[in-house]
């Protein structure tokens, strides 16, 4: 996994673009009619976690991320796609386009209108009159139907294969374009008790296989949005009962708060439970009303707007990732340019020292010798499992001397054909 990417999915008018806009502070088309977002918007959002600088009592100077008052914010890719409606996998609405846009998403945030004020196609209805649980059901169904469509074409051929190794390879080949790994495929078969069986025994289990695979490879979090509308309250538990992790959100509130903070009117950090008006700030009556509304209806009731929390849960919870901090100088905790705790990397729990080395640079992974767990002052080996907020120095063999390709044209080919460059951790 190179950069972690989060896909925003949901029916029209659930608040996806507002969520995207708030999370990235990029201005995109936001309007109360369906299909405003035709092309996928890809932006940079941040996940947040307590920074190791506080624990170590140092002042940091981040490079690949930022630190605001002891909270580290690390970039992830956020994809906002066009709304989907029932029948999308058969081509209704904008059809499969949105799902194709989500191919590379590692995790999905399903933005649901929890207030029940829009129907399945996103048209405005009496607040509370539409049941958002139905949206969860249809979105999962459309997603699974789409995935099934991709596998179905070859299913008969694959399940007739006599060698399960070959059948697995075929299946993995079909699915790699969706960002699904061989490990995901094996785990899905394993959960169904089919991994040891001959491919012929799989043939009746396509539907269950797709269901397991979706849950494993494309985990889904529900952002129960528009919680500022009172009718949302009663729907939260029911959404949870549908089997997903639910984070109550008000994307519009987050957007308003970030805009006000950008204008210098309030102090507010993404994820904070409250804001503070800047002394002497020139806040108009409408803005003041909006801020009071957010405090009363959202922050006071739910503790936060939920946007940052949804991003954080998706990555640290559903993807089971954590932050680790590679450094070059283990005494000063710096990179070679003197930046203190310069980089925070997202890695899966269970990642090893060598995984981190590969993640930083392929060559560092290949020439890995050992690592130093800086906080514990211990030398560790390649297979040492990292802990959350570890500070790690990687020690590698001296780099091979690089020759100028122009001066040594014959050397160019072997270098270009060197082991495939990948900075992915092996999961």
CB of residue 46 vs ligand GDP: minimum separation in angstroms?
19
Query: CA neighbours within 13 Å on the CB side: how many for 391?
Result: 24
Q: Which of 236, 251, 357, 391 binds ligand GDP (CB under 6 A)?
A: 251
Q: Does 118 bind Mg ion (CB under 5 A)?
A: no
Torsion of CA 360, 361, 365, 368, to 10 degrees: -80
Residue for token digits 């999962």?
A: 140
Cβ atoms of 195 and 188 within 8 Å: the answer is no
Count other C-beta atoms under 10 Å from residue 279's C-beta: 5
Sole window of 31-39, 65-73, 116-124, 398-406 interacting with Mg ion (rule: CB under 5 A): 31-39
Residue 32 contact among ligand GDP, Mg ion, none, beta carbon within 5 to 8 Å by kind = ligand GDP
Q: Which is nearer to Mg ion, 65 or 96 (CB)?
A: 96
151-161 as b/e: b if 16+ CB within 10 A: beeebeebbeb
CB of residue 37 vs ligand GDP: minimum separation in angstroms?
6
Q: Which is nearer to ligand GDP, 7 or 15 (CB)?
A: 15
Q: Does 116 bind ligand GDP (CB under 6 A)?
A: no
Count other C-beta atoms under 10 Å from residue 109's C-beta: 30
Q: Does 12 bind ligand GDP (CB under 6 A)?
A: yes
Q: Does 83 bind ligand GDP (CB under 6 A)?
A: yes
CB of residue 97 vs Mg ion: minimum separation in angstroms?
13
Sole window of 17-25, 62-70, 110-118, 276-284 interacting with Mg ion (rule: CB under 5 A): 17-25
Q: Which is nearer to ligand GDP, 65 or 225 (CB)?
A: 225
Q: Does 229 bind ligand GDP (CB under 6 A)?
A: yes
Contact letters for ligand GDP, residues 178-217 (x by CB under 6 A): ----------------------------------------
Q: Does 231 bind ligand GDP (CB under 6 A)?
A: no
The two three-digit tokens of residue 171, written as one number: 């299946």
49/76 Cα distance (integer angstroms): 13
Q: Which of 13, 235, 334, 352 binds ligand GDP (CB under 6 A)?
A: 13
Q: DSSP for 376-418?
A: TTEEE-TTPBP-TT-EEEEEEPPPPPPPPTTT-HHHHHHHHTS
**Residues 6 or more apart from 280 whose CB is under 8 A from it?**
none
Q: Does 24 bind ligand GDP (CB under 6 A)?
A: no
Query: What residues pair up with 47 in beta bridges, in sequence order?
Result: 74
229/421 Cα distance (integer angstroms): 49
Size of the site for Mg ion (CB under 5 A): 4
Q: Does 37 bind Mg ion (CB under 5 A)?
A: yes
Sole window of 14-22, 48-56, 290-298, 389-397 interacting with Mg ion (rule: CB under 5 A): 14-22
Size of the site for ligand GDP (CB under 6 A): 22
Q: Does 352 bind ligand GDP (CB under 6 A)?
A: no
CB of residue 151 vs ligand GDP: minimum separation in angstroms?
28
Cβ atoms of 94 and 84 within 8 Å: the answer is yes
Cβ atoms of 278 and 316 within 8 Å: the answer is no
39/97 Cα distance (integer angstroms): 9
51/71 Cα distance (integer angstroms): 5
Q: Does 309 bind ligand GDP (CB under 6 A)?
A: no
SS3 350: coil
Query: What residues pair up with 247 in beta bridges, in sequence order?
Result: 223
Sole window of 30-38, 206-214, 331-339, 347-355 interacting with ligand GDP (rule: CB under 6 A): 30-38
Q: Give φ, ψ of 143 to 5 degrees.
A: -65, -45
Residue 110 contact among ligand GDP, Mg ion, none, beta carbon within 5 to 8 Å by kind = none
Closest to 66 (Cα-Cα) out of 356, 423, 341, 392: 341
CB of residue 226 vs ligand GDP: minimum separation in angstroms?
4
285/291 Cα distance (integer angstroms): 10
Residue 251 contact among Mg ion, ligand GDP, none, beta carbon within 5 to 8 Å by kind = ligand GDP
Q: Which is nearer to ligand GDP, 62 or 86 (CB)?
A: 86
Binding residues for ligand GDP (CB under 6 A): 10, 12-18, 30-32, 36-37, 83, 225-226, 228-229, 250-253
Binding residues for Mg ion (CB under 5 A): 16-17, 36-37
């Amino acid at each position: 996994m190179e950069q972690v990417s989060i896909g925003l999915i949901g029916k029209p008018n659930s608040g996806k673009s507002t969520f995207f806009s708030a999370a990235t502070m990029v201005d995109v088309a936001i309007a109360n009619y369906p299909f405003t977002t035709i092309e996928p918007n890809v932006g940079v959002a941040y996940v947040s976690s307590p920074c190791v600088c506080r624990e170590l009592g140092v002042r940091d100077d981040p490079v690949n991320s930022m630190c605001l008052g002891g909270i580290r914010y690390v970039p992830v890719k956020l994809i906002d796609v066009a709304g989907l409606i029932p029948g999308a996998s058969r081509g209704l609405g904008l059809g499969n386009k949105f799902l194709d846009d989500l191919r590379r998403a590692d995790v999905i945030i399903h933005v649901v209108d929890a207030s029940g004020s829009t129907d399945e196609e996103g048209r405005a209805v009496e607040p509370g009159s539409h049941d958002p649980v139905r949206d969860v059901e249809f979105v999962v169904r459309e997603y699974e139907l789409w995935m099934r469509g991709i596998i179905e074409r070859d299913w008969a051929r694959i399940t007739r294969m006599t060698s399960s190794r070959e059948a697995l390879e075929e299946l993995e080949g079909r699915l790699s374009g969706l960002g699904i790994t061989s490990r995901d495929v094996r785990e899905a078969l394993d959960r169904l008790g089919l991994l040891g069986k001959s491919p012929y025994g799989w043939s009746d289990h396509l539907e269950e296989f797709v269901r397991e695979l979706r849950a494993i490879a494309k985990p889904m979090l529900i952002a129960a949005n528009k919680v500022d509308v009172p009718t949302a309250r009663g729907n939260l538990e029911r959404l949870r009962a549908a089997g997903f992790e639910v984070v109550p959100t008000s994307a519009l509130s987050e957007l308003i708060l970030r805009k006000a903070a950008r204008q210098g009117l309030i102090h507010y950090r993404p994820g904070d439970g409250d804001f503070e008006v800047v002394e002497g700030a020139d806040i108009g009556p409408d803005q003041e009303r909006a801020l009071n509304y957010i405090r009363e209806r959202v922050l006071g009731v739910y503790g936060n707007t939920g946007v940052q929390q949804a991003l954080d849960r998706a990555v640290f919870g559903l993807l089971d990732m954590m932050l680790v901090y590679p450094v070059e100088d283990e005494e000063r905790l710096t990179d070679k340019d003197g930046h203190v705790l310069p980089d925070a990397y997202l890695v899966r729990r269970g990642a090893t020292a060598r995984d981190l080395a590969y993640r930083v640079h392929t060559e560092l992974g290949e020439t890995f010798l050992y690592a130093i767990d800086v906080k514990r002052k211990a030398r560790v080996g390649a297979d040492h499992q990292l802990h959350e907020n570890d500070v790690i120095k990687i020690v590698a063999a001296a780099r091979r001397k690089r020759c100028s390709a122009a001066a040594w044209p014959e050397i160019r080919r072997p270098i270009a054909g060197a082991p495939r460059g990948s900075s992915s951790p092996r999961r």
